Amino acid sequence: MNGMNPLSFSWWFGVIPLYGAGVLRTLFAVFLSLMIMGAVVRMVSRRRLQDRFHIEVARRVATLCVIMGFLGVWYWFASYQQLPFLSARFWLPLWAIGVLVWIWSIVRYATKVVPRERERLNQSAEDAKYFQPKHKK
């Protein structure tokens, strides 16, 4: 029973963690869906969005989805092939932590950097009204 306890070292770092067919199908569906969602976000943002900051946020979200989906499919393949180190269970929490950190960086960009850049662009547009070079007649 020690091998089935998620709090044990051997459960996380077992030589070859065996997954059932249902778990493997679910993992594959989740990771492939993530990749497809990234492609859809990329296409929709290119066609529908006009604001450059919104396009950049959508690009970052699409990149997150595609890359993490690809890494997930890679993990699924290693698990399906029962590759000892590459299919270890500790990769899933590391993957999840990577997703969370990446989401945090996107949210930080959208809430901190974008407003600052908008303000800078608005200020430079205001300044340009008053400091335009004089044209000779």
Tell me which H or E stretch contains 129.
Answer: helix 114-130
Residue (of 72, 34, 30, 58) closest to 114 by Cα position: 58
At 88 the pLDDT is 84
Structure confidence at residue 135 (pLDDT): 67
Query: What mean pLDDT is predicted for residues 83-110?
Result: 92
pLDDT of residue 85: 84
- Give dist(CA 30, CA 49) in Å, integer: 27
Segment 87-103 mean pLDDT: 92
Which pLDDT belongs to residue 19? 79
**Residue 99 confidence class, pLDDT cut points 50, 70, 90:** very high
Q: What is the pLDDT of residue 17?
A: 67
Tens-digit pLDDT profile for residues 21-33: 888 999 999 999 9
Residue 131: C-alpha distances to residues 119, 121, 125, 137 (Å): 18, 15, 10, 18
pTM given for the model? 0.79
Average pLDDT, the chain: 87
Mean pLDDT, residues 7-21 taken together: 73
pLDDT band, very low/low/confident/very high, at 2 (cuts 50, 70, 90): very low
